[in-house]
Amino acid sequence: MLWPYLAPSGDRLHIAASLPVVDLGQDRDAVLDAVYTGIDSRGRPFSLHSILIRPLDSERSRVQLASPELSMTLADGRPVTMQANVGVYDQDQWILALTGKVVLEVGQDYQMKTESTLLDIRNERAEGDKPVLAAGPFGHLQADGFRLEEGGKTLTFLGRSRLISRETFDAGAS
């Protein structure tokens, strides 16, 4: 049974999995359709879903995630989701590294796309050093990377950045 190895000590993070009958070949320690659920340091629930979880070390403290999706709610009630092709979750450090078509959405208003992101769940930080495309009520933005701190209160775009404001975009269309 793998799930006892996936949950860190304490009762703040749990895993649930439905296990269809499939032949995993050499991947006997893999878990299909798994969901981590927990509560962050501010008491907000979050969940991390993956279609496949595979341990990366003998202690099973680091796991590889296929098609991970992280969902949580901000203090103001807006939902946040982050998806990627692949992820690696370090359960001891509460670090989630996402790669391949990373998409962050905040409510219906904001979307950010990049190729890799490092999330520090415990310290409520995220950063990426790959090109970023962002869209929202402000318009569209391109940057060389980003850093999100203070639980989402501060978002800094790194390197060369280009903003096409909604007013500029709308004026050009007339």
pLDDT tens for 110-153 read 999 999 999 998 888 899 999 999 999 989 999 999 998 887 77
Higher pLDDT, residue 146 or 167: 146
Q: CA 48 to CA 36: how far, in whole Å?
A: 5
Q: Residue 86 corresponds to which tokens in the numbers above?
A: 């692949």
Collapsing DSSP to helix, strand or coil, 56 comes out as coil
Direct distance between the N- and C-terminal alpha carbons of the chain, in angstroms, rounded to an integer: 62
Class of 3-173 per CATH?
mainly beta
Reported pTM: 0.75
What is the sign, positive or negative, of the torsion defined by CA atoms of 94, 89, 62, 114? negative
